[in-house]
Structure 1
Amino acid sequence: MTLFPCLARKIAAPALLALLAGGASAQQCGNDASGFERWKAEFAPVAQASGIGQRGLQALANARYSQATINADRNQRGVRYALDDFIRIRLGSLDSFAAQARRERDRNPGFYQQLESIYGVPSGILLAIHGMETGFGRITGNENVVSSILTVAYDCRRSDFFRPHAIAALRLVDQGMNPGQSGAAHGEIGHMQFLPGNVLQYGQDANGDGRVDPTNLTDAMATAANFLRQKGWQPGQPYQEGTANFRVLNEWNAATVYQQAIALAAARIDG
């Protein structure tokens, strides 16, 4: 399998961020469904001014408030576990998880060798993330991406963080993503559970078909490797706790227990 890395496309351009900040002042966030339709109407001209086309605007108009997303957002508990409990709940055991990851790698070892050659990220790190995020692609979520990301962009808890990702989701629809695309509760997409803005900014068309598709394993793995490399991953350097590469894992997930599990699992996989 040959990789064809593409240039990363930025979402966080100053003009877009300024536009979103200006539009936000006229928008009222909410903590329940009652103001969502009003908020969508206020968000539509902001989206249009940022370059969203007819497909994206139609997806915005059709979006529905996702109570499942809000329930998940209010009930996040995994990062509170001690490391041993987190590993037991999320991985089963390090040995069994690593064995499964090696089986996944052995399906196409040349692919993972190419990824490390191009981006400098070991297969163990990528496979540990893949397994922890989606069970190696088996559980990618069944919530509508557009509705989910718009719901958390409207919700008062973290609207500033999610508004650029909402614009990005609509842009992905303009670029051909199915408006009915399913993902995780906060709008994460595909094998590695990328938020829409990260798909745009770090996405790699690794299979050379002319589009970045986070539901395609080849594109998703290359995108994850590119993300880590762009965040400061140092090829050939260790990644256990206390190293520079371990600190890069904070860019993937801010929970220390999550970072520790990635590093420990990756060591077993690579070992």
Structure 2
Amino acid sequence: MRHLQSFILGSALSLALAAPALAAQCGNNAGGFGQWKASFAGEAKAAGVGQRGLAALANASYATGTIKADRNQKSFKYSLPKFMQIRGADTIVAQGRKRKARNAGFYQSLEQRYGVPAGVVLAIHGMETGFGGFMGKSAVVSAITTLAYDCRRSAFFVPHAIGALKLVDQGAITPATKGAKHGELGHTQFLPGNALKYGVDADGNGRVDFYNQTDALASTANFLRKKGWKPGQGYQEGQPNFKVIKQWNAATVYQQAIAIMGAKIDG
């Protein structure tokens, strides 16, 4: 019996040692962020994050402004007309038409390669950053790791935090790179995990740069195509490609606005 007990205890200990480490404990204020980073570093390393990414994680700061923004996303609750007014839809359409005409060859090449019309790409570009006019002033790594730590939507943001750290490893961003409050980056505000997966080196310089318009817009078209965009099919509500716009942003009013503006730009 003693031998059996020893065997059981030994087996239990072996299983415990072999079991994967528990996920880093989320929190709702800055107090546990340092402890979470130390724990999350193990998860990040196991996911393939290298030394540069781990150093960026260690130096990340709790982003109070990100948490405030996450708790206060009022614009997505507006009616469609109000949302389009606040977001400057008429200006986006007017500027989008000018941009399409000025660089017709580029947008034609995007549609030929990915099947996504210029109007959709331009509507997203205009909606997200005013065509690159303002790409955010929050540190991407700090913002996205704060959201991965925050209990409200930790599971959603953890893969994007890992993505951001891998982008640092690759040199696509640095620990100082600025983006939106929720860690979105570049001309069309890619979440880091999506940037890592769908980024395209469209200008052929050997690196994907989301702060370069060519790379960013090609990456956006690539994202939509990989998410199921059907070339030649419509993208208004009820048409096959409208559901693909939902993959870019979950808010219905946003999806409707992109579809409307895209059609006006292409019209």
Q: Using the TM superposition, give the Cα deviation of residue 47 of structure 1 relative to its aligned residue in structure 2, in angstroms.
A: 1.2
2:34 aligns to what? 37
CA contact (8 A) 2:202 2:218 kept: yes
2:157 aligns to what? 162
Q: List alignment gaps of at least 5 residues for structure 1.
A: 1-21
**Structure 1: distance between partners of 2:68 and 2:251:** 20
Match of 1:121, SS state, is coil
2:218 aligns to what? 222
**1:1-271 maps to which residues of 2 (within 5 A)?**
23=21, 25-91=22-88, 93-94=89-90, 96-176=91-171, 177-271=173-267
Q: How many aligned residue pairs are there?
A: 247
CA contact (8 A) 2:92 2:130 kept: no
Amino acid at match of 1:90: R
Q: Flag the 1:26–1:127 CA change in 2: closer, same or farther, 3 A.
A: closer
RMSD: 1.1
Moved over 6 A (4+): none
Q: Flag the 1:111–1:28 CA change in 2: closer, same or farther, 3 A.
A: same
The structure, 1 or 2, with the larger RCO (C-alpha pairs under 8 Å, 6+ apart) is 1
TM-score by length of 1: 0.89
Amino acid at match of 2:86: I
CA contact (8 A) 2:229 2:241 kept: yes
Amino acid at match of 2:147: V
TM-score by length of 2: 0.90
Match of 1:157, SS state, is helix
> Larger Cα Rg: Structure 1 or Structure 2?
2
> Per-residue displacement from partner, 1:118-170 (whole Å, max 9, x unpaired)?
00000000000000010011111000000000000000001111111111111
Q: Using the TM superposition, give the Cα deviation of residue 106 of structure 1 relative to its aligned residue in structure 2, in angstroms.
A: 2.6
Q: List alignment gaps of at least 5 residues for structure 2.
A: 1-19
> Per-residue displacement from partner, 1:163-201 (whole Å, max 9, x unpaired)?
111111111111112210000011100001001110111
Identical pairs, percent: 63
